[in-house]
Each structure stands twice: as structure tokens, then as C-alpha cells.
Amino acid sequence: MQAFAELLDRLVLTPQRNAKIRLMADYFRTAPDPDRGYALAAIAGTLDIATVKPALLRQLMLERMDPILFQYSYDYVGDLAETISLVWETVEPDEAEVADLSLGAVIHRLQSAGRGDVRGLVRDLLDRLDGSARYAFLKLVTGSMRIGVSARLVKQALADMGGVDASEIETLWHGLEPPYLSLFSWLEGHSERPALSMPAVFHAVMLATPVADGDLTNLDPQDYAAEWKWDGIRVQLANLDGTRRLYSRSGDDISAAFPDILEAVDFEGIIDGELLVGGTARTNRATRTFSDLQQRLNRKTVTRKTIEDYPAFVRGYDLLFSREGDMRPLPFSERRAALSGLIEAASPTHFDLSPLVSFSSWKEIDQLRIAPPDPVIEGIMLKRWDSPYQSGRAKGPWFKWKREPYNIDAVLMYAQRGHGKRSSYYSDFTFGVWTEVDGKQVLVPVGKAYFGFTDAELEILDRFVRNNTVERFGPVRSVRATADHGFVLEIAFEGINRSTRHKSGVAMRFPRIARLRADKLPRDADRLETLMAMIPAGTVEEMDGDLSS
């Protein structure tokens, strides 16, 4: 536990990305199994243990301590887990035998404890652990580990440790479980690369970069396929070895809300597609809008009536696995051909194929983009015919070119109480996009929006703000916003200009919240460069002026 606790303490205070990676890689090299696997799970957010409520910790504390002295201490430190870790006065544990205080042993005790045992177990561990180990333990059991390390960073540390490419870790990741014994054994060269034992798991999706000025100039249209970008949510549908799952693009299992689709799957494999409601192209009925789709989202269960009123289907984009195996290394052209055959044979009301758009020049596709044939189209996707399916967002193989150019995905950063009838809600939202500062990916605020959402959406946002407040400054709250945790907002606006008054350097004209994107992770949000590229040419002089100031 001690080594893990020291690692956490260092990570929290270490700003540089590379230093964090080194700290983690060194820990993984030196810590034994299964401790390092549980540490990995704790950092990557995959650890599954029963959590303890702050109220219980407070009670345990006050069994031992004067409430006034505790209050003085808590007021000073400001964090409950840290306060308790510091003020806890140990007493000799009842049993004289030496307890195993390794991280693995502590996790094991927590996982096997019954509901009624938790209180005694937490008290006993608080007594036996010391200093920073007590802190790490409390952060674990309260589920409030916040160490500023993204899942991507920890995977990079694993890659460094084993001298492999991070994409290899990414590919394996969702098929592995804590304490990751097979992964470490492979990274240390003791065994073969772990086989994907459960292939019906989520595989990180391939993402496109937005088309910016000049991006296409030197590319040959012949090398690219074009297809419509549909306005639903991106999903991954898996049916392998009898396991069926529907995942959102961030990897959330949304199977329970779409029994109609899961029942209809009669092919084996994993496909990537758009989840939509309405009629498929194969039934000649119209695709319905995103607000109709919303009737089916964020549900734990769904009624027959809702399924009938809002029939869902998947519009196929890509094929990751077929009955024959992993399709991802094959070129898009081959995957697409295989997908086409597979969908042909599948239920016509639940599956169709995203049609290709033929074009011969960039100018032609640009015109099609601006006037698409269906209102549920939000733009064009361009995919290199020879591109393999790689998770993540590499620039080049796939582009997205939106119909409405002034539309971005941003991350909620701050919220402030509204006025008048909204004064009981957090209804003024500051949002940001990613940029790199000193080698680190950080969010920079780019605008504020007060409208665009429904009352029901306001309730969702307000609840998120209250449950994810990190800091308060007067009426303003800053909310949790890291690569893997936070709220993504789709922001529409009417124009954008360069600005010296804003830290980000850009100012949006009339931004509004177009949509809540609970299906996306903050890491998928747009980057400042994308906004910069939207600034119309002709403001160049002003830009030069800014740069020299």
C-alpha cells in the first residue's frame, strides 16, 4: 500500500506529462503482482469495489475524536478523506498478528467484505495503515480518486514499461480485467501477448479530424470514399460467441435500452455504425431526428410502446470483427465490402448500410455537403480507401466536414446560478476546448451559453454541476472536467472572431447549447486549433497584430 500511496502523492503534484509517465512506469516495474494491477485499475478507473459513504467515515472519526477538534481540523484541510487520514490516532489493533497491508490484500478484503463488515474493516485498516497509505485507502474507498492522470497516460506508461506501442495496449485494454496479470506478464516478456478472451467487448473507436482550410488541397479525391455523417449517436454493436452488446462511442454499455436491436442481430461480428430512430433506407421510410432518438437515450429499461413509437436501427459504417476474425488491419474498401454483404442478409428494419456518396472533386463534395438530401445529415465523412481501422483520432485517414460549420463539441468547465425563475438552477455555463500548454493537454474556456436547452436538459446539467463541483468561487462552481470525466456540450454559434480580450484568443458570436452529448467523453471534444481554423480569412492582419503584442 505504501508504494502505491507514494505514487499517488507524487502524481498529484507532478505537472509534466513525461515525468508522470516515468513515475508510473517505474512503479509498474518494481511493484509486485497483483498490487500493480490494482493500482493500474485505481488510476484508470476500472477498479470495482464497494464504496463507503462520507457519513460513515465521519462517524468512525467521532468515535475517537472531540467534534470541535475535528471541525477545526476539517476547516483547515478542506477535504474529508485527507483530514481523517491526518488526524486519525491509531490504537493497537485487537489481533496481535501482523496483517498483510499490501494493496492487493486490502482490495481483496474490501471486495470480500459483507455489508455489515464494512464498518469494522474500515476502522481496522485505518488503525493499521499509516500516513499517506491511510490517505490513499480513504480515497479508494470513497471513490474520490482524482489524480490528474488520464487513461491514455497510464496506457502510455504501460507501453513504456514493456517497450511496446500504446495502440497495442489500447487494443487489448477492454478485454482485460484487474489485476491485469496477463498484461504485465506479457509486458515483462514472460508470456505471449494476451489473447482477447472476451471479444464481445468494446474496442476504442476510430475518429475523424475536422477539415480545416487547406487540408484537402494536396490530397487526391480518388483516394477517398465519401459518406454522409448522420445525426444520431455513434455506436458499436457486438455479437460474438453468443454475447451481444451495444456500446456508445465512449464504451458505455447501452444494451438494456435497445432490446429491439439486440434481438434482431443475426450476424456474428462487431460493427461500427450510427444509432438512429425511424425507418431504414431498406424499408423506404424516413430517418427521424435526433430529438426523436433522445426519447430512447439515457434509459435503464424501455417499454414496448416506446419501442413501437420510436423504432431504433443501426446504420452501418464499418466492420471491426467478422466471423472470420479481426478485420481492423484490412483497408476500408475491404471492410466496407464485407459489411455490405453482412447487412444485406440482416433484418431490413433494424440494419441498413450508410450509402457512399460519389464525387470527383473536392469542390463537388463541398457543394453536396452544404445541401445534403436528408435533414438528418449533419455533414460529410471522408475516409481513405486504404485506411486500416485504428482507434483514436489520427489526422489524415478520416476527415469530417460538417454541414453547419459553426458547431463544436466543448467541455463544461464552470457553471453559475441563473437569474429570475432560473435562480435556483445552475444555468449559465462556461465551456472550453482542448489545447496544449507546456506539453500538457488542458481545457481553455472559449465561451459562455445561457440558452438552447430544454427544462429537462437544464435539470440534467444542474444535477451534474451539483454532483461534480470541484471548487466554488462565490456564485460560480468549477466542475470536474478531465479527459475521462466531465460533460460534453455541443455548441452552435453564428460566427467566430479573433479576440485579444479572451484568454483563448477567440470570441464566438451568440453561442448556444445545441445538444447535450452524454454519449461523448471530454477527450473527444474539439480542440482550439479547430476553432482557430474557423476564423474567416481577412482577419489576418488583426492576427499579426495580436502576435506581436
Partner 1 sequence: MKADSLLYPTPKGLYCEKGGFYIDPVQPVERALITHGHADHARAGHQAVLATRQTLEIMAVRYGEAFCQTPQEAPLGKEMRIGDVTVHFHPAGHVLGSAQIAVEAEGMRIVVSGDYKRRRDPTCLSFEPVPCDVFITEATFGLPVFHHPDDAEEVGKLLTSLKQFPERAHLVGAYALGKAQRVIMLLREAGYDAPIFIHGALARLCDYYQREGIDLGPLEPATITGRDKSAFAGRVVIGPPSAFADKWARRFPEPMAVFASGWMLVRQRARQRGVELPMVISDHCDWAELTATIAELRPGEVWVTHGREEALVRWCELEGIAARPLHLVGYDDEGE
Which positions touch partner 1 (CB under 8 A)?
6, 9-10, 12-15, 19, 22-23, 26, 65-66, 68-70, 72-73, 76-79, 82-83, 86-87, 89, 131
Identify whether the C-beta of residue 147 lies closer than 8 Å to the C-beta of residue 12: yes
For partner 1, the closer of residues 22 and 119 by Cβ is: 22
Cβ of residue 62: shortest distance to partner 1, in angstroms? 13
User: SS3 for 439?
Assistant: coil
For partner 1, the closer of residues 14 and 255 by Cβ is: 14
For partner 1, the closer of residues 6 and 364 by Cβ is: 6
For partner 1, the closer of residues 134 and 336 by Cβ is: 134
For partner 1, the closer of residues 82 and 124 by Cβ is: 82
Q: How far is CA 40 from CA 35, 100, 112, 279, 549, in A?
A: 9, 20, 20, 44, 45
Cβ of residue 30: shortest distance to partner 1, in angstroms? 11
Dihedral through CA 271, CA 277, CA 281, CA 286, nearest 10? -160
Task: Show Cβ contacts of residue 93 under 8 Å, excluding neighbours closer than 6 positions.
Answer: 99, 124, 127, 128
Cβ of residue 156: shortest distance to partner 1, in angstroms? 17
Identify whether the C-beta of residue 100 lies closer than 8 Å to the C-beta of residue 2: no
For partner 1, the closer of residues 70 and 450 by Cβ is: 70
Identify whether the C-beta of residue 321 lies closer than 8 Å to the C-beta of residue 240: yes
Nearest to 488 by CA among 531, 513, 525: 525
Cβ of residue 293: shortest distance to partner 1, in angstroms? 43
Helix (H) or strand (E) holding 548: helix 540-548
Cβ of residue 385: shortest distance to partner 1, in angstroms? 45
Nearest to 382 by CA among 365, 398, 358, 404: 398
Nearest to 23 by CA among 45, 47, 6: 6
Q: How far is CA 105 from CA 102, 109, 112, 127, in A?
A: 5, 6, 11, 16
Cβ of residue 475: shortest distance to partner 1, in angstroms? 22
User: SS3 for 463?
Assistant: helix
Place of cell 495496449: 169
For partner 1, the closer of residues 23 and 293 by Cβ is: 23
DSSP secondary structure string for all residues of 322-338: ETTEE-TTS-HHHHHHH
Cβ of residue 14: shortest distance to partner 1, in angstroms? 6
Report the 10 Å Cβ neighbour count for 279: 17
Q: How far is CA 318 from CA 332, 478, 511, 527, in A?
A: 8, 39, 33, 25
Q: How far is CA 336 from CA 115, 225, 317, 318, 358, in A?
A: 51, 10, 8, 6, 15
Task: Show Cβ contacts of residue 373 under 8 Å, excluding neighbours closer than 6 positions.
Answer: none
Cβ of residue 82: shortest distance to partner 1, in angstroms? 6
Cβ of residue 438: shortest distance to partner 1, in angstroms? 12
For partner 1, the closer of residues 83 and 150 by Cβ is: 83
For partner 1, the closer of residues 83 and 416 by Cβ is: 83
Distance CA 296, CA 232 (A): 11
Cβ of residue 419: shortest distance to partner 1, in angstroms? 33
For partner 1, the closer of residues 27 and 224 by Cβ is: 27
For partner 1, the closer of residues 303 and 473 by Cβ is: 473
Grid coordinates of 507: 470570441
Cβ of residue 16: shortest distance to partner 1, in angstroms? 8
